[in-house]
Amino acid sequence: MAETAFQTQYRQDFVDGFEQKETLLRTAVTTEAVIKGNTATFLVADSGSAEAKTRGVNGLIPARGDNLTQPAVTLVEWHDLVRKTGFNIFASQGNQVAIMQRTSMGVINRKIDYDIYTELNTGTVNTGTAVTASIPLVMRAKTILGIAEVPWDSNLFAAITPAFEAYLMQTKEFASREYINRAPLENADPAWRDRPLMYYWLGVTWMVHPRLPGVGTSAEKCFMWHKSAIGHAYNSGDLEARAGYNEEQAYSWARTSIYMGSQLLQNSGVVVMNHDGSALVAA
């Protein structure tokens, strides 16, 4: 006769799987909420590098026009729909309805970031051959923007890979409180719990992003840009997150939808930092 009768207990609170669930880049671009229609037109205005003129011999001040361009963003609909039968929900561990809603929201938030960094990657200004991150690489990107007359205000951002961050962490200029203006965000709102840390250094907000183009390879694409260089348009209601139950077919569903599009507004305001992160990937 058996002397033991082991029992298996299943935890009802689910544990989040490792994947990006929040959008990291949306706050770093110029956004526009579209009330009606499928196109949003931005206006980029400057003087066209005009120079001051003295009064002419005829006694008149020479007049000029402004340089106005109107980049357009076409909105596209994006959806994620999860469906599970009533029996699957009944027989499965954890709150399956909450899981559906959470994962669906994560899918769309990742799509928002993909839309933005794909547009960032269309920028033609770059740092040349891919190298490992260093202070000279960062300063080169900063200098490129400075020469392009990009204002060094509070609207400069950089999206870097985990490998790029790892190399910077080995430099005193980035890792030490003696040099960095703001340490990684402390006492952050709980909504930030799924976001990598952000730093404020050299007048730039640095965010570590796990899904940038080429991540983990010798051809990683990291970016430094001004907020006015990228436009992002979306439907005025923003994300639509719905959940429901179909009584006839006895299944539950969760859907997240958005209409959105992104557009490079000013090529000179984006620098692609070509980075080699291959030495720091898993063996």
DSSP per-residue letters across the chain: --S--------SSPPPPSS--S-SSGGGSEEEEESSSSEEE--EEE-SS----PPPTTS-PPP---EEE--EEE-EEEEEEEEEEHHHHHHSSS-HHHHHHHHHHHHHHHHHHHHHHHHHTT---B-SS-B---HHHHHHHHHHHHHTT---SS-EEEEE-HHHHHHHTTSHHHH-TTT-SBPSP-S--GGGTTSPPEEEETTEEEEE-TTSTTTTSTTEEEEEEEGGGEEEEEETT--EEEEEEETTTTEEEEEEEEEEEEEE--GGGEEEEEE--GGGS--
Assess if residue 225 is contained within a domain. yes
* pLDDT bucket at 60, cuts 50 / 70 / 90: very high
pLDDT value, residue 10: 82
In tens, the pLDDT along 67-81 reads 999 999 999 999 999
pLDDT per residue as tens digits for the range 263-280:
999 999 999 999 999 999
Cα torsion 246, 247, 251, 252 to 10°: value is 50
CA distance 267 to 125: 7
**pLDDT by residue (tens digit) across 157-171?**
999 999 999 999 999
Q: What integer pLDDT is reported at residue 185 of this predicted model?
A: 41
> What mean pLDDT is predicted for residues 82-95?
91
> How far is Cα 67 from Cα 17, in angstroms, rounded to an integer?
49
Residues in the chain: 283
Does some domain include residue 60? no
Tokens of 164: 């790029």
Domain containing residue 186: 26-34+71-280
Distance in angstroms (rounded) separating the CA atoms of residues 204 and 197 = 14
N- to C-terminal Cα separation, the chain: 49
Q: Is the pLDDT of residue 113 over 90?
A: yes
201 within some domain: yes
Residue 199 lies in a domain: yes
Residue 58 lies in a domain: no
Q: Is residue 113 part of a domain?
A: yes
Rounded CA separation 5/32 (Å): 62
Residue 11: pLDDT band (50, 70, 90) is confident
Residue 95 lies inside a defined structural domain of this protein: yes
How many domains are there within the chain?
1
The verdict on residue 61 lying in a domain is no
pTM beyond 0.75: the answer is: yes
pLDDT for position 269: 98
Q: Which of 26, 106, 31 is nearest to 73 (CA)?
A: 31
Question: pLDDT tens for residues 118-175?
Answer: 999 999 999 999 999 999 999 999 999 999 999 999 899 999 999 999 999 999 888 7
State yes or no: pLDDT of 226 exceeds 90.
Answer: yes
What confidence tens digit (pLDDT) does each residue in 232-274 have?
Answer: 999 988 889 999 999 999 999 999 999 999 999 999 999 999 9
In this predicted structure, what is the pLDDT of residue 177? 66
- Tell me which of 17-21, 83-87, 195-199 is least confident: 195-199
pLDDT at 14 > cutoff 50: yes
